[in-house]
Chains A and B, each alone.
Chain A
Amino acid sequence: MEMAKTLTILWRSGSMMAMDANVAAKLASAALEKGYAVNMFGYGEGVTAVKKGQKPKRFPNIGEELEELAKRGVRIVICETCYAARGFERGEEIPGAKVGSLTNDLLKFISESDRLVTIAR
């Protein structure tokens, strides 16, 4: 059986900055529906998108969107250094997101992927 192609999405914008994280989530969802395997890696301000308990009043809830994607099989990892730099601690992230690293997780994602998309400004 042929392996599904893999898409990795790197996003770098925070949960309340533009709609970059939401675009990344929509791309991931559409790719899953088409049968691709999907990885997502949050870097820089992007790590704020996995904060548990977000309650935006006028924006889509990116935390809930990412949690749902993780339940559907998307591997979501964020940069530990970026996370700690913003005062977050392990356990504050949504279920299904992993606090990881550029050198281990992102490199592994890239080496296993057929395409890499960066959503960043």
Chain B
Amino acid sequence: MKTAFIVLKSPQEQDPARAIEALAEKDDASAILLEDGVLQALSRASADRLARVCSEVLVSREDVEAKGFSESELAIGKLIGYPEIVECIMERTERTITV
């Protein structure tokens, strides 16, 4: 089942890859990183863990920029806004799980 995984916590607080791997196949898994969760895309180690279990990583532009980072500093994923996050949740995936 195509699943959107919402990640709100930093890599220092949580490794979301284990839960994602347990709940969906890689091809069906999209990660949406919000709040401190965007730090998961800025650290090489956590980016590598997400790359192993997700087919796409969507990173909140607002939260990355609020922390003083830019797209060029992402180790994985692409920056998106809330309209694209809603589209992923409502149209491209069948369920949403916050890990």
Contacts and interface: CB of A to CB of B under 8 A. Distances in A.
Interface of A: 5, 7, 18-20, 23, 26-27, 29-31, 33-34, 36, 114-121
Contacts of B8: 18, 20, 23, 119, 121
Contacts of A23: 8, 34-35
A42 to B, nearest CB: 15
Nearest to B93: A115
Contacts of A19: 35
Counting chain B residues whose Cβ lies within 8 A of the other chain, the interface size class is 10 to 19
Contact of B83 (A7, A33, A114, A121): A33
22 contacts: A5-B90, A7-B86, A18-B8, A18-B36, A19-B35, A20-B8, A23-B35, A27-B82, A27-B86, A27-B89, A30-B85, A30-B86, A34-B87, A36-B90, A115-B96, A116-B96, A117-B6, A117-B89, A118-B6, A119-B98, A120-B98, A121-B9
Main secondary structure of the interface of A (DSSP, over half): mixed
Contacts of B34: 23
Nearest to A38: B86
Contacts, number: 53
Contacts of A5: 90
Contacts of A29: 82
B78 interface: no
Contacts of B6: 117-119
Interface string B40-61: 0000000000000000000000
A19 B95 CA distance: 23
A20 B6 CA distance: 12
B86 A36 contact: yes
Contacts of B35: 18-20, 23
A34 to B, nearest CB: 6
